[in-house]
Amino acid sequence: MKAARIHEFGGPKVLRYEDAPDPVLRKDQVLVRIRACALNHLDVWVRKGLPGVKLPHILGSDIAGEVAEVGEYVTGFRPGQRVLLAPMHYCGHCEKCAAGLQNECREFTALGNAVDGGNAELIAVPPANVLPIPDSLDFNQAASVPLVFLTAWHMLVGRAKIRPGQTVLVLGASSGVGIAAIQIAKLFNARVITTAGDENKLQKGRALGADFGIDHYKQRISSEVRRITNKEGVDIVVEHVGSATWDESMKSLKSAGTIVTCGATTGPTVSFDLRFLFARQLSFLGSYMGTMGEFHEVMGHVFAGRLKPVVDRAFPLSEIRAAHEYLEKSQMFGKIVVNP
């Protein structure tokens, strides 16, 4: 098969579009012919070098395609069936997995991180990871959904316990997590404030349901939040930027408010005054992707049309370097997809 692989860590130039061995289908697996794979910032971090990645390596967490072959022990799927994949790997038999807490499994990782992913023509996965998709979604749309919508759902619903009527600040309206979080917050009838780097992206964020927009290059986030909320602050901040925004995120919270974070795009090191944390009774929550139960829950909303994927641009897999260069410019609104 053709695949985009890395044989060393570094910039986009380390990505090679080349022949790779076809996956060997076990009797308890499903072989999927990949039609679309969406990019995430995780691809950039893995490409630059993360622990546990064995070279050569295939990136790509978000996969949609067709069932190519079904292992002898697998039932419920047929060749040609249109599917997307849960973007995760877990052992399936430990105490955490048995309790439905797959994202707390010691082996838990995203596809394309510690295990090979979807920047290829074929992938073999357990049947539990395979979910049929409705005709209303094309392959590019389907591939744009799994990781970011699962991540945003776990952040807001699983961790922050969002309630109707709350006010939510979503950083980065144009990011995959931001696009998902705006829609999920509105699904719960929350008031949403979002941020972006230009008016065009803010308008698109409002079109997704955001009630207010803040240009984070021209306006101070916390000052605008205080103005919008009549000095009260927000109940929840969806934080995935890291060091560049952490102080503003804290200052945007009301008393007993919650920051929930899933990433650190601008850097992982932050600091804060512990007195500020306990005196205002704030909550800082970490969030890592989500569980299989949450995956099926949020996919149900996507398949029903209540949550909508946003695709910015598609590249042939053979142009994977250009796709990564475009991703690192951060000019997109929505997901970047590659098509084998």
Secondary structure letter of residue 25 according to DSSP: P
Mean pLDDT (the chain) is: 97
Peptide bond just before 12 cis, omega within 30 deg: no
Is the CB of residue 4 less than 8 Å from the CB of residue 17?
Answer: yes
Query: Are 5 and 20 within 8 A, CB to CB?
Result: yes
* The predicted structure's pLDDT at residue 169: 98
Q: Above pLDDT 70, what percent of the chain?
A: 100
Residue 205: φ, ψ to 5°: -65, -40
Q: What is the pTM of this model?
A: 0.97
Q: What architecture is the 149-286 domain classified under in CATH?
A: Alpha-Beta Complex (3.90)
- Dump pLDDT digits (tens) for 1-41: 999 999 999 999 999 999 999 999 999 999 999 999 999 99
40 token code pair = 């995430």
Spatial separation of the C-alpha atoms in residues 106 and 305, rounded to whole Å = 34
Of the pLDDT bands very low, low, confident and very high (cuts 50, 70, 90), residue 265 is: confident
Cα 160 to Cα 249: distance, rounded to the nearest angstrom: 15
Structural tokens at position 213:
């927009």
Whether the per-residue pLDDT at 308 is higher than 90: the answer is: yes
The reported pLDDT for the residue numbered 222 is 97
Q: What is the pLDDT of residue 88?
A: 97
User: What is the predicted pLDDT for the residue at 142?
Assistant: 98
The confidence score (pLDDT) of residue 203 equals 97
Q: Is the pLDDT of residue 224 over 90?
A: yes
CA distance 211 to 207: 9
% of the chain beyond a pLDDT of 90: 98
Q: Lowest mean pLDDT of 102-111, 132-141, 267-276, name the range.
A: 267-276
- What digits encode the pLDDT tens for the residues 120-149? 999 999 999 999 999 999 999 999 999 999
The least confident of 71-75, 201-205, 240-244 is 240-244
Do domains 2-145+309-339 and 149-286 share one topology? The answer is yes
pLDDT tens-place string over residues 162-181: 999 999 999 999 999 999 99
Q: How does pLDDT run across 77-100, given as a tens digit for each residue?
A: 999 999 999 999 999 999 999 999
- What is the predicted pLDDT for the residue at 255? 97
Contacts of 274 (CB under 8 A, 6+ apart): none
* 241 confidence band (pLDDT: 50, 70, 90): very high
2-145+309-339 to CATH, choices 3.90.180.10, 3.40.50.620, 3.30.420.40, 1.10.3110.10: 3.90.180.10
pLDDT value at 115 more than 90: yes
Annotated domain spans of the chain: 2-145+309-339, 149-286
Phi, psi of 201 (to 5 degrees): -70, -35
Say whether 208 sits in a helix, a strand or coil: coil
pLDDT of residue 164: 97
φ, ψ (nearest 5 deg) of residue 261: -125, 145
Across the strands, what pairs with 286?
261
Q: Angle CA(334)–CA(336)–CA(339) in degrees, nearest 5? A: 140
User: In this predicted structure, what is the pLDDT of residue 213?
Assistant: 98
